[in-house]
Structures are given as structure tokens and as C-alpha cells.
Amino acid sequence: MPQIAQLADTYASQIFWLLVFFGLTFFVVGRGMVPKVMSTVADRDSQIAADLAVAEAARAKADGEEAAWRKREGDNRAAAQALVAKAKADAAAKAEKKLAAAQKRLDTKLAKAEAEIAEARNNALAEIEDVAVEAARDIVRRLAGVSVTKPAAAKAVKEAMAHG
Amino acid sequence: MSAAVAAEPAKVDPMYQFTIKPLAELELAGFDISFTNSAAWMLVTTIVLFGFVLGGMRRQLVPGRWQMAVEFFTSFIDDMLQANIGDAGRKYVPYVFSLFMFILFANILGLLPLGVVGLHPFTFTSHFTVTGVLALITITIVLVVGFWKHGLHFFGLFVPHGTPLAMVPLIFVIELFSFILRPFSLALRLFVAMMAGHVLLEVLSSFVIDGTNAGALWGGVVGLPSFLLMIGICALEILVSGIQAYVFALLTVFYINDAENLH
């Protein structure tokens, strides 16, 4: 086993060169380079964290803007609906007014017409009475040879007509 | 040094791969610090690891595959420390990362089939001199941090909460003993795991070579199954490379957690 057989001859060289090369490794690689590599990793991690935070903030802002837009949109919609409702109500009121006016015109026309009809009927009735009075006097004169005065005849006709 | 082992031909010595060969003789203050094949592979590991992490330094906001791979490892170590120690664990990332990646790259580089092109990889994590030093560094950090932060209260680590007073001396000795054994278990686990895998591969390869040399029959009965088994063991060894590096780093984190937070 050379490790033991050569121990006395080689231990000094082994220890010396190990200390030299491991020392070089430790001071150059371990102390000199590794911290730089690790700081690169740390920088990257912090940059990623910062980027994520910025992205998160941007998302929150976008969410806020969307909510505001939604609210604006809702307000606009409500305003438009109110406008439409008001227009509808106005139109309905106007139509009702027009309708009422038309109804009134028709009513007066109808009343006038009825009055005219009533008057015409009354006139016709009066004429019939006159004719009946004249006819009654004529009949009485011819049958009884008695001349009846006009008021008496009219009274009799009226009585007869009232009794039907 | 090891020429005697290499001199025997037509025989696969499964331990030969662990032999340390000097490439350039050096001496410092009376110590032999020759630049060896082991040191050469430490150099290779350092360079490859440096290149790997360098590829992850482009610091792009959207990482490429390479940068992502490097960031995966740093985050992996960071998460491990965060989960076990908490925010105080952050400052140990450079050490645990270096430890984990150095062991991982050493293990995997030692497995590369570079022998095909005549370049023999050397797995220096299969030497307890190496794993022992790494374990001692970890335990030193644990001791320094423990006594720095908690002073003599750090000895409270050896007396768990709720221990009956009569049991305290006994528990203290047992816990102290287990603490002292930590660097050994840490070092031996990695060294044994790496050595065992490489020895197994070498033994199986000797079956393939000897079986095939003995003729078509033995080649079919012994050589081919051994070869197929080797492929499976290679996959297993890649897994073990990762797991052992992970275990070493994780235990280091546990021990540092003891020092940071006591119990």
C-alpha cells in the first residue's frame, strides 16, 4: 500500500502541495470568484422580485382602471335609460293631452248635434200640434157646424196628446 | 522509489496506481517537497476548477448553460449552509464550496480514462495524507470558531442538555472522544471510498486481461462478465465521487454548525 509505504518519503510534499493548491483554490476561487457568482444570483433574484412587484402593481392599476371604466359605463347607461324613460313619459303625456282635446271637440260636436236634433223634434212636434189644431177645428166645424176658437182647440189637442 | 513494483511485467498490481512518483526534486528547509504526480493532479484540479468557475463569471441576467451549472453549485452549497447553520452559515460558503468542488473535481478527474492516451490519472483523494490535511483544516476551523464565539462554553458541546449530573463525567469523556475521532472518520471515509473503488476497477481489469490471455473460453466466461461489471462499477464510481465530496462537505457543515450554535 503506497499510501503507507511511501508515507515517510512523501508526507511533506503531499501536505505542502495540497496547502498550496487548496489554498489557491480557496483564495482565488472560493474568496475571489464565488461571492461574485453569488451576487449575480442575488441580483437576478432581486431583479425578478422587483419585476414581479412592478407587474403586480401594473395589474392592480389595470384592475382599478377597469373598475372605474365599468362604473362610468354603468353611469352612462343609467343616464341614457333615464333619458329614454323621460322621453317616453313626455310623449305619453303629449299623446294623452291631444287625445283629451280631440275627445272634448267630439263631445261638443255631439252635444251640438243632439241639441239640434232635439230642436228639430220640438219644431216637428209643434208643427204637428198646429196641424192637429187646424184639423180638429176643421173636423168640428164640418161635423158639428160649430166654430171652435183656436185656443180651445189647441187646449183640447194638447189634452188629447198628453193622454196619448 | 517504486520502480521495483513497476518492474514486474504481465501482472496488474492494483496498488501500483497509488504510487507517488516525483516529477521534479525540490527541498525546503530540509523537507522533501518534490513536485510529484500527486501535486501535478492537484494543479490540474485547481486549474480545471478555476476554469469551471471562470465560465460562470459572465454575470449575465439570463444565464447560459455554463453559468447556470456554476450557479447551481454555489446555490447548492449556500442552501446547505443556510439549512444547517442559518444566516451565520453564509460566511463559510467560500470554504465549503472550495472543499466540495476540490474533492469532487479531484475524484472525477482521477476517474478519467486518460490511461488510453498514456496519461495516467492520479486520484490524490485516495491518499490519507491529503484527506487528513483537509479534515484537519475543517476541525481547526471548528475549534477556532467554537472557542472564538463561545470561549470555554464550547466544552458544553460535550455535555448534552438534560444529562443527569452523575453521568456528566462519563458523557463528557465519550463526547470528547467522539469529537476527537471526527477528523479521522472524515479523512478515512473519503480515502477508503476512493481507494476501494480504484482497487476494484484494477482487480477487475486484471481479470479481463488475464482471462482474455488464457484463451477464448476463459475470456468469455471471466473476461467479458468482468468487463461488463467494470462498466457498471465505473458508473458507480462516478456516483461515489459525488457522494463522498458531498458527505465531506455536509459533515464539515455539521461540525461548523456545532461550533456556531453549540446545541
**Contact present, B253 and B91 (Cβ < 8 Å):** no
Band (pLDDT 50/70/90 cuts) for residue B263 is: low
pLDDT score of B8: 42
Task: Tell me if B98 and A35 make a contact (CB, 8 A cut-off).
Answer: no
Q: Which of A8-12, A105-109, B169-173 has the lowest mean pLDDT?
A: A8-12
Residue whose grid cell is 272634448:
A104
Mutate to test the interface with A, among B20, B36, B99 (most CBs of A within 10 A): B20
> Residue B207: is its pLDDT beyond 90?
no
pLDDT in tens, B114-132: 877 878 888 889 888 899 9
CA pair distance B121, B119, nearest whole angstrom: 6
pLDDT in tens, B67-95: 889 889 999 999 999 998 888 888 899 99
> Residue B102: is its pLDDT beyond 80?
yes
**Contact present, B143 and B259 (Cβ < 8 Å):** yes
Band (pLDDT 50/70/90 cuts) for residue B57 is: confident
Report the gap between the CA of A42 and the closest CA in chain B (Å). 10
Instruction: Using alpha carbons, list the distances in angstroms from residue A132 to A4, A124, A145, B20.
Output: 173, 12, 18, 171
Band (pLDDT 50/70/90 cuts) for residue A164 is: low
CA pair distance B204, B230, nearest whole angstrom: 7
Band (pLDDT 50/70/90 cuts) for residue A114 is: very high
> Whole-model pTM above 0.80?
no
Q: What percent of chain B has pLDDT over 90?
A: 32
**Contact present, B134 and B103 (Cβ < 8 Å):** yes
Pick the residue from chain B with its C-alpha nearest to A1.
B15
Describe chain A by its helix, strand, coil percentages, rounded to 5. Answer: 95, 0, 5
Question: Average pLDDT for residues B44-69, to the nearest whole number?
Answer: 87
What is the number of other CB atoms lying within 10 angstroms of the CB of residue A109?
10
Question: Average pLDDT for residues A144-151, to the nearest whole number?
Answer: 80
Report the gap between the CA of B171 and the closest CA in chain A (Å). 34
pLDDT score of B7: 42
Task: Tell me if B46 and A24 make a contact (CB, 8 A cut-off).
Answer: yes
> Residue B23: is its pLDDT beyond 50?
yes
CA pair distance A3, A5, nearest whole angstrom: 6
Cα maximum dimension of chain B? 72
Residues 25 through 44 of chain A touching chain B, CB cutoff 8 Å: 25-26, 28-31, 33-38, 40-41, 43-44
pLDDT score of A136: 84
pLDDT in tens, A9-61: 788 888 889 999 999 999 999 898 889 888 888 988 999 999 999 999 999 99
Inter-chain CB pairs, A–B, below 8 Å: 142
Task: Tell me if B46 and A30 make a contact (CB, 8 A cut-off).
Answer: no
A58 lies within 8 A of chain B by CB: no
Torsion A80-A84-A87-A93 (CA) sign: negative
Question: Average pLDDT for residues B205-223, to the nearest whole number?
Answer: 82
Residue B35: φ, ψ to 5°:
-75, 110
Residue whose grid cell is 280631440:
A102
pLDDT score of B9: 43
Residue whose grid cell is 310623449:
A91
Q: Whose CA is closest to A137, among A162, A164, A155, A159?
A: A155
CA A80 to chain centre: 7
Residue B13: φ, ψ to 5°:
-95, 110
**Contact present, B195 and B17 (Cβ < 8 Å):** no
Complex ipTM value = 0.85
Residues contacting residue B153 through CB under 8 Å, at least 6 positions apart? B262
**Contact present, B96 and B81 (Cβ < 8 Å):** yes
Residues 37 through 66 of chain B touching chain A, CB cutoff 8 Å: 38-39, 42-43, 45-46, 49-50, 53-54, 56-57, 59-61, 63
Question: Average pLDDT for residues B199-207, to the nearest whole number?
Answer: 88
Average pLDDT, chain B: 85
pLDDT in tens, A67-106: 999 999 999 999 999 999 999 999 999 999 999 999 999 9
Residues contacting residue B112 through CB under 8 Å, at least 6 positions apart? B121
> Residue B171: is its pLDDT beyond 80?
yes
Torsion A91-A95-A98-A104 (CA) sign: negative
CA pair distance B41, A17, nearest whole angstrom: 10
pLDDT in tens, B33-52: 888 888 889 999 999 999 99
Torsion of CA B233, B239, B242, B245, to 10 degrees: -60
Q: Whose CA is closest to B42, among B133, B117, B141?
A: B133
**Contact present, B47 and B106 (Cβ < 8 Å):** no
Helices (runs of H) and strands (runs of E) counted in chain A: 4, 0
Q: Whose CA is closest to B111, among B200, B11, B207?
A: B200
A18 lies within 8 A of chain B by CB: yes
CA pair distance A36, B2, nearest whole angstrom: 45
pLDDT score of A132: 85
pLDDT score of B11: 65
Band (pLDDT 50/70/90 cuts) for residue B6 is: very low
The number of C-alpha atoms within 13 Å of B151 and in the hemisphere containing its C-beta is: 0
Question: Average pLDDT for residues B214-236, to the nearest whole number?
Answer: 85
Residues of A in contact with B97 (CB under 8 A): 29-30, 34
Instruction: Using alpha carbons, list the distances in angstroms from residue B150 to A7, B70, B172.
Output: 37, 35, 17
pLDDT in tens, B155-164: 877 877 777 7
